[in-house]
Every structure is written in C-alpha cells, then in structure tokens.
C-alpha cells in the first residue's frame, strides 16, 4: 500500500533531480565563459579561482559578499513575490530609489529623534515609499488593465529624476561633488552586528524578510490566494478569489520589499541619499529570481551565490584586468541553461 511518503532514499533522489539542472547549468556556463577567457589570453583556472574564492579568502571579502547579499535578496523577492501571483515587477530599481528617498526624508527631517524612534521610522518610511511606488502600476493595472511590465519600467525612469531633484535641490551636500544629500540623523543609522569588518543589521532584517515571505506565501490564506492566482487565475476567480485585487497586492508587497532594500542602503551603507546607489541590483535581482525559478525559499541561496560572483568580478578586474562583464555573461548563461533544463524536461515528458 502506498502511503505517499517518500523514503529517505526517495527523498535524496528527488532532491538530486531538483538540484542537478542547477549544477549542470553552472558547470556549462563556466565552461563557456572559460572558453571566452582563454581566447582572450588569460589564465582560465586562475580566473575561476578568483571569481569563486575571493569571498572566502579574507574577512573583508566575506563581509562584502554579505553586504551585497542584502539588496540582491530583497530585489529578487521584489520580483518573485509578484511572480507568485503571475505578475512581473520590473520596477525594483525605482522602488529601491523610492525607498531610499523615503528613508532619507524621514532621516533628515526627524534627525533629532533618538535612535529607538528614528531608526524604525526610517525603515518604515522606506517600506511605505516603495509600496506606494508600486501601487501606481498596480492601480493602472486594476483600473485600466495596463500591463505592469510597461508601467513598472516607466516608473524606474521617473525615479531617476526624482532622486536627482531631492539630492540636488532639497537637501544637497555642497561638498560632495556628486548629487548627494546631507547625512540622515545618527539615530537613523543601522547598528553593526559585526564591528570589523563592519556588517550592518540589515543582514538580519533581510533574513527576517525571507522568513516572512516564506511563511506568508506557504502558511497563510492570503499567500494561498496569491499562489492560486498565479497558478490559474480563471479557476481562482471561480472559487471566489478577487484576482485583480490580488494582483495589485502582489505588486505592492514587491514594492515594499524593494523599498526596504533602498532604506537599508541608506541606513546601513551610505547614511545619506546618493544618486546611483541602486547600482545594478535590479538586473541582478531579476537574474536571481529567474535562476531560483520564482521559488521564494531558493532566493537567498541563489542571491548568496550571485553575491560571490559579484565580489569575484571586482577582484577579476583588479588582479587580472579581465572585464567584470565576464561575470554578467556567466550569470546570464546560468539563467539560460537553467531555463533550457525546463525545456528538456518538457520534451522528455512529451
């Protein structure tokens, strides 16, 4: 009689089948990138070593990896949470900037408050700003059925002008030489959980955000409705789920996570608003979400791997003079081969 419970051996086989496409995709991606590196006349094995092990050679390298892990994870979740409901949030960059602006406005205007009040308000300001920024595409989708892909991208461009205005017209730092605001109040700065090299408390907040997303999407009624909406909107509607409102909620939740990433960048890293603080986190966040195949629980593990590659890319440029874009090629190839593994599975199933 079959109980439906896998034996330990069955679980291992199931886990192996799930992980194998990722391992194969990584190996093939590095092999292809190695061919490019070798054709450019560089030492391929040394390049591999630099990319993969720079994060673990020194405490500074490891802390730098964890620091990059924070915005990468939150940006990836800003993409995968709406994806759970079948929506594509391409506006994580604008939501990060909006969150950074919200955190900076609160941190500057209320700079005199004690840290016990100011820090939560700074982070709350970033979450609200990011959620409101995503609510605009959500409303356009709900009211006029305008594709969220288009509107979230356009909102990114608006955020570029907004951050420039805040940093150059509202609270500019005349000594900065770059669009930058004055610092936020000291009470709004995230404390370090490790002193040297410094690692701010945003790392713990990110882990909590991952736990919240996982519990919400797998252990709550609202999360079940999000999953049902993404899996089969028509069936969800038949069973009484308002899929249009759930789509808006999914975008707002993604925006809140994107906004939090901006707030942590301000409160934990820069302590002020700086034009360009979003770096390339949007592209890397989407890459992370795609490699994780929209699995919210897999996101932090993939984000950590991408953070390792990013730190390795910087070292690759410094020590071997190899363009850092080579790592972007590796990341893109990993996505390509992971997605191709799905095509192969479908072909086998047919």
Domain boundaries along the sequence of the chain:
19-42+323-350, 64-321
Q: How far apart are CA 40 and CA 251, in angstroms?
A: 43
Query: Three-class SS of residue 200?
Result: strand
What is the 3-state composition of the chain as percent helix, strand, coil, each rounded to the nearest 5?
A: 75, 5, 20
State percent of the chain over pLDDT 90: 75
For residue 194, the surrounding DSSP H or E stretch is strand 192-194
Mean pLDDT of 267-278: 96
> Which candidate, 224, 206, 205, places its Cα nearest to that of 215?
224
Tell me if the domain spanning 64-321 has CATH number 1.10.3470. yes
Residue-level pLDDT at 346: 47
Mean pLDDT of 131-149: 97
User: Does pLDDT of 350 surpass 70?
Assistant: no
User: Does pLDDT of 348 surpass 60?
Assistant: no
Residue-level pLDDT at 10: 72
More confident: 58 or 14: 58
Q: In the numeric block, which tokens belong to residue 144? A: 């006029």
- How many CB atoms neighbour CB 27 within 10 A? 12
Q: What is the pLDDT of residues 56-100, one digit of tens each?
A: 999 999 999 999 999 999 999 999 999 999 999 999 999 999 999
- DSSP at 195: T
Mean pLDDT of 156-163: 97
Q: In the numeric block, which tokens belong to residue 14? A: 């199931």
Instruction: State the average pLDDT for the chain.
Output: 91
Q: In the numeric block, which tokens belong to residue 39? A: 């054709």
Residue-level pLDDT at 2: 46
Full-model pTM:
0.92
Angle in degrees, CA 176, 106, 65, rounded to 5? 65
Residues near 329 by beta carbon (within 8 Å), at least 6 away in sequence: 33, 36
């Amino acid at each position: 009689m079959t109980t439906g419970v896998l034996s330990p051996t069955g679980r291992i086989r199931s886990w192996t089948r799930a992980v194998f496409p990722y391992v194969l995709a990584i190996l093939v991606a590095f092999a292809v990138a190695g061919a490019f590196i070798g054709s450019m006349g560089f030492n391929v094995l040394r390049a591999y070593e630099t990319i993969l092990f720079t994060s673990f050679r020194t405490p500074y390298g490891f802390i730098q990896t964890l620091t990059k892990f924070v915005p990468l994870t939150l940006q990836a979740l800003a993409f995968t949470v709406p994806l759970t409901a079948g929506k594509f949030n391409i506006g994580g960059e604008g939501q990060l900037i909006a969150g950074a602006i919200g955190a900076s406005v609160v941190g500057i205007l209320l700079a005199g408050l004690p840290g016990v009040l100011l820090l939560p308000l700074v982070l709350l300001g970033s979450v609200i700003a990011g959620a409101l920024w995503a609510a605009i595409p959500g409303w356009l989708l709900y009211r006029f059925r305008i594709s969220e892909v288009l509107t979230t991208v356009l909102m990114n461009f608006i955020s570029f002008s907004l951050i420039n205005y805040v940093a150059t017209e509202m609270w500019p730092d005349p000594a900065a030489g770059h669009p930058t605001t004055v610092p936020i109040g000291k009470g709004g700065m995230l404390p370090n959980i490790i002193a040297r090299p410094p690692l701010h408390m945003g790392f713990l907040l990110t882990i909590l955000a991952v736990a919240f997303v996982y519990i919400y999407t797998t252990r709550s009624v609202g999360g079940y409705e999000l999953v049902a909406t993404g899996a089969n909107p028509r069936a969800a509607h038949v069973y009484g789920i308002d899929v249009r409102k759930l789509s808006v909620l999914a975008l707002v939740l993604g925006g809140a996570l994107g906004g939090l990433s901006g707030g942590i960048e301000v409160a934990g890293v820069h302590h002020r608003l700086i034009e360009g603080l979003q770096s390339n986190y949007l592209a890397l966040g989407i890459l992370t979400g795609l490699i994780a195949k929209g699995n919210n629980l897999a996101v932090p593990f993939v984000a950590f791997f991408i953070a390792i590659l990013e730190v390795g890319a910087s070292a690759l440029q410094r020590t071997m003079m190899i363009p850092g874009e080579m790592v972007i090629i590796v990341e893109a190839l990993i996505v390509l081969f992971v997605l191709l593994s799905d095509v192969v599975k479908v072909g086998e199933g047919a």
